[in-house]
A = this chain, B = another copy of it.
Amino acid sequence: MSLLVVGSIALDTVKTPVEEHGDLLGGSASYAASAASYFSPVQLVGVVGSDFPQAEFDFWKSRKIDSAGVQRVEGKTFRWSGEYAWDLNTRETRSVALNVFENFQPELPKSYRQTDFALLANIAPALQSHVLKQMEKPRFVVADTMDLWIETTRAELDALLPHVDLLILNDSEAREMTKETSLIKAGRGIRKMGPRYVAIKKGEHGALLFGENEFFSCGAYPLEDIHDPTGAGDTFAGGMAGYLAGNVKKVTFTDLRKAMIYGSVLASFCVEAFSLERLRNLTMDEINERYETFKLMSQFEVPET
C-alpha cells in the first residue's frame, strides 16, 4: 500500500569538520520519502520554489515517489545551512530562509485522500493536522516532531497527538515534553498524551519503542565513521513508516519492532554520505544484509556458529 509523506523540502548547505557541500536535497519529507520508497510507493506532499532542480523530480519518479502533491511556487526553495562540531554530535544552524515554505498550505491531490498510511514528517503541528483532516480514513498515522514545536506550538502539538498512532521523537525531546529524566517514564508519559505507540530515537544508542505494556529496545548499527548526520531522524521515520505501509495490513507491536529495525538500517545508510546521496540507489540486498546484522548483534540465545 502507498504511504503519504508530508514535510519540508529544502536545499541544504552542510559543513562538517571535514567537508562542506551546498544545494543538497534536504528537508524532512525528502529524507523520509526516499527511505520509505524502498518498501512502498510514496505520495509526497510539499512545496518547492522555481529554483528547485528538475533532476530531483526525475529522481522521485525513478523511485516511485509520486510528486503530484508537491506544489511549485514562484520564488526560492526553503534553504537551511548548518555546521557540525568536531564530534558530529552537536550542530549549529548557520542560516534558515523559509522562502516559499513560509506560506505553505499543504493540499492533497484527490488521489492521495484515501491512502491508508501517513507519515507526518517533521513540520509545524498545525500543518500536520491540516493534512490529516484532508485524509478520509487513514489506517495508521505516524508523526515525527522536534524541540522547536514542543517549545513554540505546544497546544497545536497536543491537539494532534490523539490522532497519531505512532509518535517519533528523540531522547532530549521526549525529556523536554514530559519533564522526566527517565526515558522510560518519558516514553510511557507521552503515550498518555494520545499516541498509541511512541518511538524514542537515541542516535548512536539506538531506539526505544513503547506500547501498552509492551517495550522494545534496539541498538544502532555499528558504524565506525559518520559523514553527515543530517536527516538521520527523518530517514528513520521514513524507513519505519514505509516498512509498515508496504508490508502490514493491521499494525501490531511485532510489526513495529521490525519496522524500527528497518528505520535504523535506513538511518545507518543515511549518515554514511552527505545529504541523502546514499539513499538514492540502495539495493534490497544491502538493506537486508544490515537487517541480518541487527539480528546477529541483538540475539543472545543463539546456537554457537
- The answer to whether the Cβ of A295 comes within 8 Å of any Cβ in the partner chain is yes
Whether B184 contacts A217 by the Cβ 8 Å rule is: no
Contacts A254-B302, A254-B304: A217 and B208 contacting too (C-beta < 8 A)?
Answer: no
Whether A182 contacts B261 by the Cβ 8 Å rule is: no
Whether A218 contacts B300 by the Cβ 8 Å rule is: yes
The stretch of A27-35, A55-63, A70-78, A220-228 in contact with B is A220-228
- The answer to whether the Cβ of A286 comes within 8 Å of any Cβ in the partner chain is no
For the complex, what is the distance from the CA of A252 to the CA of B300, rounded to whole Å?
Answer: 12
- The answer to whether the Cβ of A202 comes within 8 Å of any Cβ in the partner chain is yes
How many Å from the CB of A298 to the closest CB on chain B?
5
**Which residues of the other chain, B, contact A294 by a CB distance below 8 angstroms?**
300
For the complex, what is the distance from the CA of A295 to the CA of B257, rounded to whole Å?
Answer: 13
**Which residues of the other chain, B, contact A103 by a CB distance below 8 angstroms?**
none
Interface 1/0 per residue, A287-298 and B, CB below 8 Å:
000000011111
Q: Which of B181, B202, B206, B224 contacts A184 (CB 8 A)?
A: B224
Whether B301 contacts A181 by the Cβ 8 Å rule is: no
8 tightest A-B contacts by CB? A217-B219, A257-B300, A205-B205, A87-B181, A184-B222, A254-B304, A217-B297, A215-B297
Would you list 25 pairs from A and B whose C-beta atoms are within 8 A, ordered by A residue?
A86-B181, A87-B181, A88-B181, A183-B204, A184-B222, A184-B223, A184-B224, A205-B206, A206-B206, A206-B217, A206-B219, A208-B222, A216-B300, A217-B219, A217-B220, A254-B303, A254-B304, A257-B299, A257-B300, A257-B302, A260-B300, A295-B300, A295-B301, A298-B300, A299-B299
